[in-house]
Amino acid sequence: MDKIILYGAGNYCDIYISSEGIKYGEIIGIIDSNPQKWNTLKNGYSVCAPDIIDSHEYGKLILTVRQPDLIIDMLLHKNVNKSKLFIYNAEDHKLLPLSLIYDDYIKRKIFRKNAVRQVKTELLMETFREEEYTNVERVIVIGSNENFELIKEFFEMLNWDITVLPGGNEEINGIRETDKYVFCSENYRGDLKKIREELISENQWLIIPLFDVENTIIL
């Protein structure tokens, strides 16, 4: 009998345990990306951090989540054996091997990437239409390198004479009156708090929730 790890300690996990039991193998544990669920019990099973994958022997890693694609990305990046990955369809009570739906997963991944970029660009366009960059000479991006590159490309397409720099760049060399700080990381509150008192005016900062866009795309 295969040893099984379930990924996802939510409703789909409950449905799997109550409906399937040991049909597909022996459940040896549950993992979840949410730290608040770690070291708790779910239907009598311990919920742990995803790191345990590296230290446990298992035959199947079953994704019991509503949107598995982002988790699949992470697991494949960690070199988890694709043949051991399965997706649980809670509506039909079916277990689908990733190898069977891999082509569809790749198509969704490409579509998602394009959709995410489109939504992020539209968020940037909203700030442009609201004239957030009037009299701005430098845009300082506090966020991921990916979002920095996107914002830099956005201003290049506009052909505006604005310098776009990542936060922490040596070229910044102090805050100028013509600077605009764009906060687009999940920790925007903490990032803003660090420099807010140094800003010359409250018009010098802007929050764009680019960090949350990927979670809003449902395929």
Mind listing the pLDDT tens digit for each residue in 152-175?
999 999 988 899 999 987 778 889
> How many degrees, rounded to 5, is the angle at CA 8 between CA 57 and CA 65?
120
Q: What is the pLDDT of residue 12?
A: 95
Residue 191 to residue 85: CA distance in whole angstroms: 37
Quote the pLDDT of residue 217.
Answer: 67
Write b or e for each residue in 124-145: b if 16 or more Cβ atoms lie within 10 A of its Cβ, otherwise e.
beebeeeebbeebebbbbbbee
Q: What is the pTM of this model?
A: 0.66
Residue ranges of domains in the chain, CATH in brackets: 3-92 (3.40.50.720), 118-216 (3.40.1010)
- Pairing verdict, β 40-42 and 45-48: antiparallel
10-residue stretch averages of pLDDT, the chain, 219 residues long: 94 92 90 94 92 90 92 91 94 91 89 92 96 95 95 92 89 90 94 92 95 75
Crossing angle of helices 98-129 and 69-77, in 10° steps, is 110
pLDDT value at position 87? 95
Per-residue model confidence (pLDDT) at position 218? 62
For residue 219, the model assigns a pLDDT of: 57
Strands (E), 58-98: 60-63, 85-89, 94-97
